[in-house]
Amino acid sequence: MIANESAADEYREIAGRFTGLVEAVPDDAVWERPSPVPEWTARDVVRHLVEWFPGFLAGGAGVTLPQGPGVDDDPAAAWRTMSDGVQAVLDDPAYAQRLLVNPHIGEVPLPDAISRFFTADVFMHTWDLARATGANETLDPQRCAVMLDGMLPLDELLRSSGQFGAAVEVPDDADATTRLMAFIGRDPR
């Protein structure tokens, strides 16, 4: 998260960009294009976000997000329904002091957990979806640099989680987006 930015505002910005990409997909043929994530299509990028996070939130904080149609039926509506639910949680002061409890991360204030685990995931997958659909894949360089700086010390832990591929080599003078994407295992070329 960028300094002096609330988790709600951060999510609003990042999810807003992702929503714009989702809503710009013109037809099913584009949803079936390959993404930079091996064996995933553009639709699978949305599926990943829509399917993993509700269970994480329900199991760790007792929060149930609204369910929309399935991603196979309507990826845009599936994303919007779930994402609007996340934004509602972040905007509701009643959730500000709630903790998310998870055996791997301990107790984390709910807004911080959403920011660290979901908003960050949406941010990185924005690049994947943009690449798959032919949209502008440029990410905020400051966010990329902050995220990369936070991830570098956790390199071994992140790789062993199975959630990230092997880092891809890029020139030392590569821009922040390229360095972040290469670090998480995407080939920016």
| pLDDT tens sequence across 104-137 | 889 999 999 999 999 999 999 999 999 999 999 9
Contact indicator for 63, 55 with CB cutoff of 8 Å: no
Task: Provide the pLDDT for residue 107.
Answer: 95
The size of the chain, in residues, is 189
Contact indicator for 147, 180 with CB cutoff of 8 Å: yes
Residues of the chain with pLDDT under 50: none
| Partner residues linked to 108 by β-bridges | 100
Task: Provide the pLDDT for residue 158.
Answer: 78
Where in the sequence of the chain do the CATH 1.20.120.450 domains occur?
7-135
Distances (CA, A) of 164 to 2, 8, 121, 124, 155: 23, 26, 11, 11, 10
Q: Exposed, middle or buried: residue 97 (CB in 10 Å: 0-12, 13-18, 19+)?
A: exposed
CATH superfamily of 7-135: dinb family like domain (1.20.120.450)
Query: What token pair was written down for 103?
Result: 């055996």
